[in-house]
């Protein structure tokens, strides 16, 4: 009999524990914070069904899916993330470019870059669909090119940033992914090559070969490029005339060569 009592007691205790656990669980659920969504408008569904009346008659309607504005915002976030543009460079815009009091060539570069961004969707598939800002260091070439990049990204255009020195160092450090990386640069919707031919008097054979493969592919397929370099087109042609002439043709309508002295370098002011 004693063992039976012990068994009943054990069963009772287990049932009591179950009841208490269930009670605590329900209390915990009521005390939880409401579920958080990235977008409160669509509850992260990406949109909602809208009922559209087709006439004044009852039941004469159509259910239509309407995308939420957050879809575009997330697309831009993804484009920004894949662009390889740093957070600092994502802040470069036409509005925060200091134009006042600058030399006329700097103002011309500002105007050309702005015109390029404005006309991009009309020229993107043509031969003359690219921008080149060339010449003096510190004259704002990268800022203006980045302003174009950020403008296009916010319009939903994919941009890939390739800083010449760091980019080729990264490729050489990971030669197993060479073909994939070069193909990515060839096929990017828009490619920004920053500081082309920077760092040495002549590019290495590796740089020369791969850069021609990138530029030539884009030239043949009318894919836009943004080019910044301290060298002029003639200087680029001295290194590789075939590459320089292709860049010149693609950038003919949107090209500025900033020539002058150290006064053009805003970092020294």
What domains appear along the chain, each with residue ranges and CATH number? 33-67 (no CATH), 73-268 (3.40.50.300)
Question: Tokens in use for 63?
Answer: 């259910």
Given a cut of 60, whether residue 21 has pLDDT beyond it is no
Is the pTM of the predicted complex or chain greater than 0.75? no
DSSP secondary structure of 80-149: HHHTT--TTGGG--STTS--TT--HHHHHHHHHHHHHHHHHHHHTTSSS--EEEEESTTSSHHHHHHHHH
Q: What is the CA radius of gyration of the chain?
A: 30
**Stronger pLDDT, 101 or 230, i.e. the higher one:** 230
Average pLDDT over residues 133-148: 94
| pLDDT for the residue numbered 51 | 73
| Alpha carbons 159 and 163: distance in angstroms, whole number | 13
- Out of 15-19, 79-83, 215-219, 262-266, pick the least confident: 15-19
């Amino acid at each position: 009999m004693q063992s039976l009592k012990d068994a009943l007691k054990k069963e009772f205790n287990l049932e009591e524990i179950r009841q208490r656990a269930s009670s605590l669980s329900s209390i915990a659920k009521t005390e939880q914070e409401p579920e958080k969504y990235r977008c409160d408008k669509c509850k992260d569904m990406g949109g909602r069904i809208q009922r559209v009346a087709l006439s004044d008659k009852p039941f004469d309607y159509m259910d239509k899916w309407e995308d939420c504005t957050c879809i575009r915002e997330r697309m831009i976030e993804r484009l920004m993330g894949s662009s390889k543009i740093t957070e600092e460079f994502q802040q470069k815009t036409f509005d925060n470019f200091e134009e006042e009091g600058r030399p006329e060539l700097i103002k011309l570069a500002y105007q050309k870059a702005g015109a390029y961004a404005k006309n991009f969707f009309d020229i993107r598939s043509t031969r003359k669909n690219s921008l080149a800002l060339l010449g003096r260091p510190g004259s704002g070439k990268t800022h203006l090119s980045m302003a174009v990049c950020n403008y296009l990204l916010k319009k939903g255009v994919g941009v890939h940033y390739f800083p010449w020195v760091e980019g080729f160092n990264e490729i050489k450090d990971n030669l197993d992914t060479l073909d994939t990386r070069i193909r990515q640069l060839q096929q990017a919707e828009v490619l920004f090559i920053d500081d082309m031919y920077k760092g040495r008097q002549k590019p290495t054979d590796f740089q020369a070969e791969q850069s021609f493969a990138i530029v030539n592919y884009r030239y043949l397929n009318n894919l836009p490029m943004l080019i910044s370099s301290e060298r002029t087109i003639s200087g680029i042609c001295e290194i590789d005339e075939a590459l320089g002439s292709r860049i010149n043709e693609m950038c003919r309508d949107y090209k500025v060569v900033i020539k002058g002295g150290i006064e053009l370098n805003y970092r020294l002011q």
